[in-house]
């Protein structure tokens, strides 16, 4: 009886040890899966997540694209209309982007806003234009005159109080000067349509 009881006790100990080992292995396996395998899956899923623009942003409803033989740019899908005009008898057609409530007032804007692109046929360089603007800054109320890069283009940016408040982004392509201009209504706030102006300027691309 004593030997049999000892064998039974020994077998029970072996079973308990086996159960504990299996439980330990199961716990370690779960911890490994949670910390390494599952975390990798989460990382992969996060890396493929697409972030969409804030729907409340004035320019978030993009994008329509204006394009001609020389350049292109993006602008909001709603709230703006684009047309082409000619500044001067021999000047090329150039785009005008207007808000739906736009009204002109002399050389300024009575209501809404306008963004347009003008082009000069005079051969020039960006450095030459920067020097000219520095010289004439007092006469035209030029402020925040800066040489920088916007959308991959080397540009000059400034705003002036000449013939209404105007924001300018100047760039030179093949020796010709292009000016992206933003004007808004008298007594208005420049920030109201600044998102769209920034969109046009930053997406402005010259064709190869």
Same domain, 136 and 80: yes
Report the pLDDT averaged over residues 170-190: 93
pLDDT score of 135: 92
Same domain, 120 and 38: no
Residue 56 lies in a domain: no
Answer yes or no: is pLDDT of 92 > 90.
no
Same domain, 115 and 168: yes
Residue 28 lies in a domain: yes
Same domain, 78 and 181: yes
Report the pLDDT averaged over residues 171-194: 93
Same domain, 177 and 154: yes
Contact residues for 103 (Cβ-Cβ < 8 A; gap 6+): 109, 110, 111, 112, 185
Residue indicated by tokens 């975390």 = 39
Residue 158 lies in a domain: yes
Residue 116 lies in a domain: yes
Residue 141 lies in a domain: yes
Output phi, psi for 45, to 5 deg: -65, -40
Same domain, 109 and 191: yes
**Percent of the chain, pLDDT > 70?**
70
Residue 127 lies in a domain: yes
Q: What is the pLDDT confidence band of residue 40, given thresholds at 50, 70 and 90?
A: very low
The count of other CB atoms within 10 Å of the CB of residue 184 is 26
Report the pLDDT averaged over residues 175-201: 93
Residue 57 lies in a domain: no
Mean pLDDT of the chain: 79
Same domain, 89 and 139: yes
Domain span at residue 34 reads 1-51
Claim: this prediction has a pTM higher than 0.75: no
Number of domains within the chain: 2
Same domain, 21 and 77: no
């Amino acid at each position: 009886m004593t030997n049999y009881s000892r064998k039974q006790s020994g077998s029970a100990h072996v079973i308990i040890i086996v159960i504990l080992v299996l439980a330990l292995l199961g716990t370690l396996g779960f911890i490994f899966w949670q910390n390494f395998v599952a975390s990798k899956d989460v990382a992969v899923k996060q890396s493929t997540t697409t972030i969409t623009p804030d729907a409340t942003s004035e320019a978030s409803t993009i994008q329509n694209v204006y394009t001609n033989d020389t350049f292109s740019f993006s602008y909001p899908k709603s709230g703006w209309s684009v047309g082409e005009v000619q500044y001067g008898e021999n000047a090329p057609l150039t785009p005008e982007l207007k808000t739906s409530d736009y009204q002109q007032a002399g050389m300024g804007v009575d209501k809404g806003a306008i963004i347009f692109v003008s082009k000069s046929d005079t051969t020039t360089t960006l450095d030459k234009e920067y020097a000219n603007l520095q010289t004439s800054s007092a006469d035209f109320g030029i402020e925040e005159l800066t040489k920088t890069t916007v959308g991959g283009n080397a540009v000059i940016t400034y705003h002036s109080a000449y013939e209404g408040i105007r924001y300018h982004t100047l760039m030179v392509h093949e020796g010709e000067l292009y000016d992206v201009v933003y004007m808004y209504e008298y007594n208005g706030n420049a920030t109201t349509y600044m998102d769209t102006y920034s969109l046009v300027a930053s997406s402005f691309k010259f064709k190869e």
